[in-house]
Every structure is written in structure tokens, then in C-alpha cells.
Amino acid sequence: AAVVRAAIRLAHELGLDIIAEGVETEAQVRFLMGTGCEQAQGYYFSRPVTALKATELLREGRVDPAAGPLRGLTSSAA
């Protein structure tokens, strides 16, 4: 946890955007939000899908194409 916090702090100080990869649990999302990480991806949000499936989900309105920063704990629509 200390290494992640330090990496996020360093990235912020350098003006870099941060995307946490491999997020699988609500606890991880809460931790990241608490440390200032604004974007994340991983199984918590969605298992991998094909390009065709991603297009289908977007057309059906089941995924926000511009979801933006982490603001809440919303499970995947996929």
C-alpha cells in the first residue's frame, strides 16, 4: 500500500495521469479513491470483451463511453 501511495503521489507531482490496472475488489477501488487515483480498470468493472461486444454495450447505453474519473462504486454492465 505504501508503494502505491508513493507512486500516485509522485505521478501527481510530475503532472501525470494515473490509471490503476488490475482492480478486482470494492476495497481496492475505495483505497485508490482515497489515495487520489482517478482512473482504474480491471475485473471489478468488467471482464475483457471483444470489440464487437464493447460496441454493442455502448450502443445499448450499458456503458458510458466517457465515464471519467472514479466517482463511485458501480459494478460492470458487462
pTM over 0.75: no
| pLDDT tens-digit series, residues 49-65 | 999 998 998 888 887 66
Answer for the pair 57, 63: CB distance below 8 angstroms, yes or no: yes
Per-residue pLDDT, 10: 97
Question: How far is residue 52's CA from residue 5's CA, in Å, rounded to a whole number?
Answer: 36
Bigger pLDDT: 58 vs 68: 58
